Amino acid sequence: MGGLVTVFRRELAGYFATPVAYVFIVIFLVMAGALTFTLGNFFARGQADLQPFFTFVPWLFLFLVPALTMRLWAEERRLGTIELLLTLPLAQWEAVVGKFLAAWAFCAIALALTFPLVITVNVLGNPDNGVILTGYLGCLMVAGAFLAVGAAISALTKNQVIAFVLAVAACFFLTAAGSPVVTEFLSQRVPQLADIARGISITERLGGFTRGVISARDVVFFASFMAFFLFANTIAIDQRKAD
């Protein structure tokens, strides 16, 4: 466990030692705010909640999270530091989980910095703050799922661009699978596929959280999803350490 904490600390400090953290956070906050107030019709809806914000978060994470994960392993390979990291007396899963948790904590910091939105709705009306809290929890789950997929993809290549593009594609697939366009199309043509698409959809799961419902099904989905990809990540590192 000591190894996990050490890797976690180094990684999290690493985000703030480079401009990565500041660029990521600023772009995320600007985009989240802009989308909520323009496309999301925050004011015109006349409702004191953060529904418009939560609907855009997966779409923002879709691009921003792969930008975080693309360097996780690909850069270690390029710099050769993977050789250093994996010859320290750490179990491989500690390195994998430490990196993942650091990236997740970083996403949590970015999400927490959207707190002015919460203040705004509380000033303008009487929102259900419990629902807002579960909504944030849902967003964190989405970030974790995207991070787990992206990190596993990053472990397979030393090219960061490839890691980024593949991770965006994977996250897009997970996000779009539950969008009305896809599910309506599928339920008319191939109803069986429509159920599967809804089953793997991240947006569908997030929907429950943003309505204030934390169902065991959704929590188990996210937890097993992340566990699976972290496991795949460990295997990928183990099999392809050197190249």
Partner 1 sequence: MTALIEIERLTKRFGGFTAVDDVTFSVAKGEVLGFLGPNGAGKSTTMRMLAGFMTPTSGTARICGEDVVDRPVAAKRHLGFLPEGAPTYPEMTVTGFLQFCGRARGFHGSALNDRVAHAMALTQLEGVRLQPVETLSKGFKRRVGLAAALLHDPAVLVLDEPTDGLDPNQKHEVRNLIRAMAPEKAIVISTHILEEVAAVCTRAVVIARGRVVADATPAELAAKGPTMDAVFRALTLPEVEAA
Q: Which residues bind partner 1 (CB under 8 A)?
A: 2-3, 6-7, 9-10, 13-14, 17-18, 79-81, 83-84, 86-91, 238, 241-242
Q: At its nearest, how many Å lie between partner 1 and the CB of residue 10?
A: 5
Q: Of 20 and 60, which CB lies nearer to partner 1 in the complex structure?
A: 20
Q: In angstroms, rounded to a whole number, what is the distance separating the alpha carbons of residues 143 and 145?
A: 5
Spell out a b/e string for 190-208, using b for 16 or more CB atoms within 10 Å of the CB, else e: eeeebeebbeebbbbbbbb
Q: At its nearest, how many Å lie between partner 1 and the CB of residue 76?
A: 9
Instruction: Write down the residue that tokens 């705010």 correspond to.
Output: 33
- Burial class of 161 by CB neighbour count within 10 A (0 to 12, 13 to 18, 19+): exposed
Q: Of 83 and 184, which CB lies nearer to partner 1 in the complex structure?
A: 83
Q: Of 86 and 109, which CB lies nearer to partner 1 in the complex structure?
A: 86
Q: Of 84 and 213, which CB lies nearer to partner 1 in the complex structure?
A: 84
Q: At its nearest, how many Å lie between partner 1 and the CB of residue 242?
A: 5
Q: Of 5 and 220, which CB lies nearer to partner 1 in the complex structure?
A: 5
Q: At its nearest, how many Å lie between partner 1 and the CB of residue 158?
A: 13
Q: At its nearest, how many Å lie between partner 1 and the CB of residue 231?
A: 18
Which one-letter amino acid corresponds to residue 28?
F
Nearest to 66 by CA among 173, 129, 155, 149: 149
- The SS3 of residue 215 is coil
Q: In angstroms, rounded to a whole number, what is the distance separating the alpha carbons of residues 157 and 87?
A: 20
CB 109, CB 81: distance < 8 Å: no
